[in-house]
Amino acid sequence: MGTAQESATNIDINGQKPGASVGVLHPHVVGQAEMVQLLDVEGVRHADATFTPYIDALTAETVRGFYRDMAIVRRFDAEATALQRQGELALWVPVIGQEAAQIGSGRAMQPADYAFPTYREHGVALARGLDLADLLKLFRGISNGGWDPKENNFHLYTLVLAAQTLHAVGYAMGINRDLAAAELADSGAAEVIDPAAVVAYFGDGSSSEGDVHESMVFATSFNAPLVFFCQNNNWAISVPFEVQSKIPLVNRAGGYGMPGIRVDGNDVLAVYAVTQWALEHARSGKGPVLIEASTYRIGAHTTADDPTKYRMLAEEEAWKAKDPLIRMERYLRAEGLADDEFFEQVKHDGDEMAAHVRKATLALDSADIRQKFATVYAEAHPLVAEELAWFDQYEASFADAAAQISQGGAA
Amino acid sequence: MKTMTIAKAINEGLRATLANDSKSFLMGEDIGSLGGVYRVTEGLKAEFGAHRVIDTPLAESGIIGTAIGLALRGYRPICEIQFDGFVFPAFNQITSQLAKIHTRSDGLLSAPVVIRIPYGGGIGSIEHHSESPEALFAHTPGLRIISPSNANDAYWMIQQAVACKDPVIVFEPKRRYWLKGEVDTESAPSDPFKAQVLRAGSDATIVTYGPLVPVALAAANAAQEEGRSVEVIDLRSISPIDFDTVEASVNKTGRLILTHEAPTFGGIGGEIAARISERCFYSLEAPAIRVGGFHMPYPVARVEEHYLPDIDRLLEALDRALAY
């Protein structure tokens, strides 16, 4: 099963039990092998009383769409990696291997829901409807943002990890305030606020940051409509998961008093279903949920990283066998939900998207320092104005000097 | 005109904000039923409810981090950090997140979060309860930093901070919380980011802010008895700094003394000295002189009187300036 609340397994991690003393906690641990899985590596469906109904409610078109999205993101990832290798991006953060965790969770969200990503949520960005080319502005040195977060309810990437989990909790607390204010307003003039929830993305590495702890304290204390979505990809750059935690992260949920779900993060159907369940839980006023999606960072941490220095090829190969796209293709073909024509079309769409991303990226060839002066503050600021005036004068002095030279004048 | 303490003036300013701006609310540690450790928020929870005056978990990063999220949702959070020395767990959220959100979103987002911090020493307190960390935040582009020194400013500046679209840190001079003054709740307040000349003079200028304003005024009065005319400027805003007002004064007096409780090294006084040496080079009769804390962590209470700038140290600096 894998839900911390519903089916904890008693693993004796210390090799001894303290007996039946009152007030002594002996941990009941959800183990590594336990997780919600609806589609195994062979592409065979497995039933779960709680979560299967979420998949049964989907049309074949939607299920095919999950595969399509995952394939599009993988193609995008390859294109961005190539752009970095060709010197067009300063850095790239590959997402290969984590497509199911991101498309499954992203597709479970409603338009009014809000996502707070790390810097690797390219799949969630696609699910939220962003133009993927916008993600590359950050990595090309054009913008430290790159898109309007309010357009798709997809916040900017956060690079100092874990900070975004607190922003997500605050945003979710704001949703609760909006709902309370709407309730208080006169019934005739009441603003209609649809219940919405927030998804806070983070990883196994940032789970060790204090902000993740504080965000879980605030979220549970204030009953925030929030889903903590942890992609446990097993590596924080070069440091293995075991250094962050000796037991699966889902077990932390109980300590904060919220439900936890451990899910096969390479099974897009399971991720979609558990995220739907968690979002419904959050939207209905029952408070936050922690999801731990077990997945693997097949690629390097970034294009500046070299995984051969710290991990074994055999481990990567073992995880490649659990690839989220392969199992989904097997399932779609076996069930007759998709044929060769579909897969060829997906490949064609991916290439088309990649060409668009490349073209849009290469067209971004400069940024404007004056726009940076203009956005430090929202209101006028005398020091910024003074420094900009100096800069303009300084720049103009080169033009004056050039004009003098072209006129044959000498200083 | 009403006479009240600085603490009461902030309380009244917060009351006016909560009444006028339905999106505003207070959040912090012990600010609800207790009314804050300095009672600055006393009575506000009873009047506006727990929904508008929120006791948070004991987690400063959590307070500022969630305030950012609430601001992104359209709210105006007013956060209290209980003591100056307790702000550092929130340093990343303030300097890396809050200060940068407007520029990294290319101006699409703003997070108008207000952070109130009681600061400074002179109260005989224990470690981490007497610090002056304002320069660390003034060094961070994207933040605005103000510090009232009297009840009227205290009443208005908190309201102006909440109305500002940028994040604002209000450093409250805690040893002056009980200093009484007149508050004009009717007339339009002055620009919170402009300095004020509190006392005119012709021989030297003392620039200060927050808790040392009364000390600077007392030093100027003492100097007057010796026949020296000292101008006193209350900076009021530490970021931005109103260099124009300081420049005009120094062009007149030719001598500049800068004083704050924070260590002088890398501090606000050094920044003003450098700027004024550029702007007033031909008017200066003496180098700018800084009078501030020493390069040591804030010392134990039994010796803090030696650390804090006082009237005698200002008069000594004045003697040095006039000796050139």
**DSSP result, B205-245:** EEEE-GGGHHHHHHHHHHHHHTT--EEEEE--EEES--HHH
Please tell me which of the candidates B56, B106, B193 has its beta carbon nearest to residue A375: B106
Whether residues A324 and A262 share a domain: the answer is: yes
Say whether both A291 and A402 belong to one domain. Answer: no
Taking the Cβ of residue A223 and every Cβ of chain B, the question of whether any pair is shorter than 8 Å is answered with no
pLDDT at residue A142 greater than cutoff 70:
yes
Query: How many structural domains are present in chain A?
Result: 2
Mean pLDDT of B226-248: 98
Q: Is A159 within the bounds of a domain?
A: yes
Same domain, A396 and A291: no
- pLDDT band at A1; cut points 50, 70, 90: very low
Could you state, in order of their start, the residue ranges of all structural domains in chain B?
2-183, 196-322
Task: Look at residue A2 in the predicted model and tell me its pLDDT.
Answer: 55
Are B66 and A378 in contact (CB < 8 Å)?
Answer: no
Contact between B69 and A221 using a beta-carbon 8 Å cutoff: no
Contact A195, A168 (CB under 8 A): no
Do A393 and A260 lie in one domain? The reply is: no
A394 and A318 part of one domain: no
For domain B2-183, give the fold: Rossmann fold (3.40.50)
Cis before B112? omega within 30: no
Asked whether the beta carbons of A182 and A191 are under 8 A apart, the reply is yes
pLDDT grade for A10, boundaries at 50, 70 and 90: very low
CB pairs under 8 A between A and B: 142
Output the pLDDT for position A403.
Answer: 83
Least confident of A99-108, A360-369, B126-135, B164-173: A360-369
Taking alpha carbons only, the member of A202, A201, A197 closest to residue A223 is A197
**In CATH, what number is assigned to the domain containing residue A277?**
3.40.50.970
A162 contacts on B by Cβ (under 8 Å): none
pLDDT band at A3 (very low <50, low <70, confident <90, very high): low
Q: What is the pLDDT of residues A263-291, one digit of tens each?
A: 999 999 999 999 999 999 999 999 999 99
Nearest residue of chain B to residue A146 (CA atoms): B105
Residue A339 lies in a domain: yes
Each residue's pLDDT tens digit, A149-177: 999 999 999 999 999 999 999 999 999 99
Look at residue A401 and tell me whether its pLDDT is greater than 90: no
Q: Rounded to a whole number, what is the distance in Å from the CA of A149 to chain B's nearest CA?
A: 8
Q: Quick one: A335 and A394 in the same domain?
A: no
A344 and A385 co-located in one domain = no
**Nearest-5° Cα angle at B296, B294 to B297:** 125
Residue A28 lies in a domain: no
Residue A41 covered by a domain:
no
Across chain A, mean pLDDT equals 93
Q: Mean pLDDT lowest for which of A121-130, A182-191, A393-402?
A: A182-191
User: Is residue A5 assigned to a domain?
Assistant: no
- d(CA A22, CA A34) in angstroms, rounded, equals 29
Q: How far is CA B207 from CA B214, B293, B309, in A?
A: 12, 15, 13
pLDDT at residue number A341: 98
How high does pLDDT run on average in chain B? 98
Express each pLDDT in B103-120 by its tens digit: 999 999 999 999 999 999
Average pLDDT score over residue span B165-177:
98
Quote the percentage of chain A above a pLDDT of 70. Answer: 92
The model's confidence at residue A140, banded by pLDDT at 50, 70 and 90, is very high
Mean pLDDT of A248-266: 98
**What is the CATH number that goes with domain B196-322?**
3.40.50.920
Residues A284 and A241 placed together within one structural domain of the fold: yes
Using 50, 70 and 90 to split pLDDT, how confident is the model at B276? Answer: very high
A161 & A66 share domain: yes
pLDDT band at A11 (very low <50, low <70, confident <90, very high): very low
For position A5, what pLDDT does the model report? 47
Does A310 lie in the same domain as A390? no
Assess whether A340 and A355 both reside in one domain: yes
Q: pLDDT at position A9, please?
A: 44
Position B69 scores a pLDDT of: 98
pLDDT of residue B199: 98
The CA distance from B290 to B12, in Å, is: 35
The predicted pLDDT at position A190 comes to 54
Residue among B73, B101, B110, B242 with most chain A CBs within 10 A, to mutate: B73
Is it the case that residue A399 has pLDDT exceeding 90? Answer: no
Label residue A360 exposed, middle or buried (CB < 10 Å: 0-12, 13-18, 19+): middle
Residue A67 lies in domain: 52-367
Q: Do A256 and A402 reside in the same domain of the chain?
A: no
How confident is residue A231, by pLDDT bands cut at 50, 70 and 90? very high
Residue A354 has pLDDT above 50, yes or no: yes
Residue A411: which pLDDT band, with cuts at 50, 70 and 90? Answer: very low
Active-site residue (options: B129, B139, B260, B295): B129
Q: Is the pLDDT of residue A7 over 90?
A: no
Cβ burial of A409 (10 Å; 0-12, 13-18, 19+) is exposed
Give the residue from B21, B75, B76, B105 with the most A CB atoms within 10 Å of its CB, the best one to mutate: B105
Per-residue pLDDT for A4 more than 70?
no
Helices A268-281 and A60-85 pack at an angle, to 10 degrees, of 110
Q: Does residue A239 fall inside a structural domain?
A: yes
**B324 to chain A, minimum CA–CA distance in Å?**
31
The whole-number pLDDT of residue A25 equals 82
Residue A194 has pLDDT above 90, yes or no: no
Residues facing residue A154 across a β-bridge: A115
pLDDT of amino acid A404: 82
